[in-house]
């Protein structure tokens, strides 16, 4: 057995430690200058007018929907192939999730199925494309459906910091883009954190009020809102991590190229696709194989960590199913669940580690 290969890892350097120490010493832990600085830098990174720091990616999606006026009786188009939190905010707001199947090549929301599902929906008001695994959804077609039907377009960018579609940053296409800084993401705040970006002044102002108890600049609570704020300590980490994200994404892309080169000759393995007009940031490197559980066991026995994203599609979780009148049938999404396997991927993975994973996969299929 060789050295263990970790699924992911997290980068902390002296600049992060120094900035966190400065915040600790400042004794200013919420609503301070560090969140403002991180927001400005993140808005610039996403090429948007505003960025609103919040406590998680889930909060960013929830607040974007709420600020866009989504509530009871509204239908919100969502993919089934995603993490639960792309959908739970829709249900929390009393709206109905309407599930859309995947594009079979990129596994992102299928634009053709979206058209059909919008036509069938009673009261479509919003759509949430998810840039799953770091591959941008087909924003040209999805935005055109959103425009045609006057839907709020909320991008779930929680896995796609820095990804581009036709040379433009994800998060900048929709009414709002929502990011997570959970520790496993392409960049983190060393804890929970999130960001909503937008070009819409009113949406930004509404989200800022909603994240802070529905309070306006005069200190009045003009609407009901909870506490969804990002802390100064977390913003300090995020601000420093943002300095590195482009370089880290480039390293993830290099790692993906090496995996693709090594695995392209293994006929049982389908490597991830990348459309020619996007820049995928490989939050996850997901292969498609006929015997996923067996391959996973082989790799685990060889001390190689893997993941499954996701074993249960969003529409099949009990908490979501209870909200649905009929059980959606998403054939392509459901076919994926026992065939996908996420291989180790992070900016510091070495060529040797990638080769070790690929050698183990080759050996598995040679038997």
Ligand X SMILES: Cc1ncc(COP(=O)(O)O)c(C=O)c1O
Binding interface with ligand X (CB under 6 A): 56-58, 82-83, 85-86, 130, 156, 158-159, 180, 182, 192, 194
Rounded Cα gap, residues 198 and 227, in angstroms: 20
Q: Return the number of the residue (180 or 249) whose C-beta is nearest ligand X.
A: 180
In the complex, the smallest distance separating the C-beta of residue 298 from ligand X, rounded to whole angstroms, is: 27
In the complex, the smallest distance separating the C-beta of residue 182 from ligand X, rounded to whole angstroms, is: 4
The helix (H) or strand (E) run that includes residue 75 is strand 75-79
Q: Return the number of the residue (242 or 263) whose C-beta is nearest ligand X.
A: 242
In the complex, the smallest distance separating the C-beta of residue 88 from ligand X, rounded to whole angstroms, is: 9
Q: Where are the alpha helices (DSSP H) in 30-120?
A: 33-46, 57-67, 88-92, 111-120
Collapsing DSSP states into helix, strand and coil, what is residue 54? strand
Q: Which residue has the tokens 């180790």?
A: 344
Q: Return the number of the residue (173 or 364) whose C-beta is nearest ligand X.
A: 173
Q: Return the number of the residue (298 or 316) whose C-beta is nearest ligand X.
A: 316
In the complex, the smallest distance separating the C-beta of residue 227 from ligand X, rounded to whole angstroms, is: 15
Q: Return the number of the residue (61 or 114) whose C-beta is nearest ligand X.
A: 61
Q: Return the number of the residue (192 or 279) whose C-beta is nearest ligand X.
A: 192
Collapsing DSSP states into helix, strand and coil, what is residue 365? helix
The helix (H) or strand (E) run that includes residue 251 is helix 245-263
Q: Return the number of the residue (279 or 353) whose C-beta is nearest ligand X.
A: 279
**Residue 330 DSSP label:** -
Collapsing DSSP states into helix, strand and coil, what is residue 98? strand
355, burial (CB in 10 Å: exposed 0-12, middle 13-18, buried 19+): middle
In the complex, the smallest distance separating the C-beta of residue 59 from ligand X, rounded to whole angstroms, is: 7
**Region class of 130: left (phi > 0), else alpha (psi between -120 and 50), else beta:** beta
In the complex, the smallest distance separating the C-beta of residue 173 from ligand X, rounded to whole angstroms, is: 16
In the complex, the smallest distance separating the C-beta of residue 20 from ligand X, rounded to whole angstroms, is: 19
Residue nearest to ligand X (CB): 57
Q: What is the DSSP string of 204-244?
A: HHHHHHHHBTTB-TTS-B-S---B-BPPHHHHHHHHHHHTT
In the complex, the smallest distance separating the C-beta of residue 252 from ligand X, rounded to whole angstroms, is: 16
Contacts of 35 (CB under 8 A, 6+ apart): 53, 229, 230, 231, 232, 235
Q: Return the number of the residue (284 or 343) whose C-beta is nearest ligand X.
A: 284
The rounded Cα 216 to chain-centroid distance in angstroms is 30
């Amino acid at each position: 057995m060789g050295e263990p290969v970790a699924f992911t890892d997290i980068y902390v350097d002296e600049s992060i430690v120094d900035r966190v120490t400065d915040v600790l010493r400042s004794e200013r832990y919420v609503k301070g200058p560090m969140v403002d600085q991180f927001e400005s830098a993140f808005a610039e990174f996403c090429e948007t007018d505003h960025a609103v720091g919040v406590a998680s990616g889930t909060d960013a999606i929830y607040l974007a929907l709420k600020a866009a006026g989504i509530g009871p009786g509204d239908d919100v188009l969502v993919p089934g192939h995603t993490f639960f939190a792309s959908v739970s905010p829709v249900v929390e707001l009393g709206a109905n999730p309407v599930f859309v199947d995947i594009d079979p090549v990129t596994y992102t929301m299928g634009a053709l199925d979206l058209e059909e599902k919008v036509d069938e929906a009673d009261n479509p008001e919003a759509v949430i494309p998810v840039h799953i695994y770091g591959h941008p959804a087909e924003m040209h077609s999805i935005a055109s459906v959103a425009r045609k039907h006057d839907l709020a377009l909320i991008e779930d960018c929680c896995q796609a910091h820095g990804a581009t579609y036709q040379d433009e940053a994800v998060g900048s296409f929709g009414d709002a883009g929502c990011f997570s800084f959970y520790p496993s993401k392409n960049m983190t705040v060393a804890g929970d954190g999130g960001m909503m970006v937008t070009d819409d002044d009113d949406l930004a102002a509404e989200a800022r009020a909603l994240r802070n108890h529905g309070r306006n600049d005069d200190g009045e609570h003009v609407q009901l809102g909870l506490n969804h704020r990002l802390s100064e300590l977390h913003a300090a980490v995020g601000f420093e991590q943002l300095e590195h994200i482009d370089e880290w994404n480039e390293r993830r892309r290099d790692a993906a190229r090496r995996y693709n080169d090594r695995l392209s000759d293994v006929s049982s393995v389908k490597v991830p696709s990348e459309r020619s007009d996007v820049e995928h940031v490989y939050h996850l490197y997901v292969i498609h194989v006929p015997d996923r559980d067996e391959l996973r066991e082989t790799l685990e026995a060889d001390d190689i960590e893997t993941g499954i994203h996701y074993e249960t599609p969003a529409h099949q979780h009990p908490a979501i199913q209870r909200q649905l009148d009929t059980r959606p049938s998403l054939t392509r999404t459901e076919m994926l669940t026992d065939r996908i396997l996420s291989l180790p991927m992070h900016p510091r993975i070495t060529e040797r580690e990638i080769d070790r994973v690929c050698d183990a996969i080759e050996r598995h299929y040679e038997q």
